[in-house]
Chains A and B, each alone.
Chain A
């Protein structure tokens, strides 16, 4: 079974600082990777996804993530954060095999606080 690790549980940044949130997964085959965001009091929204092809994927609101297969990593980045980026961020993985996509596994989340 697959698993996901997010090592940064809480991150505090000042506005305009750069962001990188770590995500590592464990699975022996090919995977689909996702980053979701949950703003305070809201439900989860998809930020970006990787299925195949260019390992650098761009998502909404200026976020991007890079898939590094050799490191089993899918780190989320943003060059300059805003106060409105304060939220909880979840990395998720699912096997890309037929039927494997039925079980989406989430990391424990990273709480990001951006200070003015």
Chain B
């Protein structure tokens, strides 16, 4: 039982490049989400999903896309990276009793 896994751990992008952050969970949780963590701002919700085929926007969705084709996977796509997207990204899945399990994070730098 690996919990929530994320790849890559580190990534450097140039402005305008696109990439996908991968997230997978093996706990059969319906609910998954993506957060970004910035100094002094805590964690902010980007997108979330309540099950395969269902996604919705969080607090800061602009510049990011998500899809949920399976229960296990919830990738986050940056369409055209900007320096403002430099951050640490955490994926999480939530149990039926509302306990969130976080992945190890992806540290993204956009130059």
User: Smallest CB-CB separation from B91: which chain A residue?
Assistant: A43
- Residues facing B in A1-59 (CB within 8 A) are 4, 6, 9, 32, 34, 36, 42-46, 49, 51
User: Which residues of chain B are near A106, meaning CB under 8 Å?
Assistant: 35, 42-44
B contact residues around A108 at 8 Å (CB): 40-42
Least CB distance, A19 to chain B, in whole angstroms: 19
Also in contact, A107 and B31, with CB within 8 A (given A43-B104, A49-B99, A102-B56): no
Chain B CB within 8 A of A79 CB: no
Most chain-B Cβ atoms within 10 A of its Cβ — which of A44, A94, A103?
A: A44
Contact A43 B45, beta carbon cutoff 8 Å: no
Binding site for A on B (CB under 8 A): 31, 33, 35, 40-45, 48, 50, 56, 58-59, 90, 92, 94, 98-100, 102-105
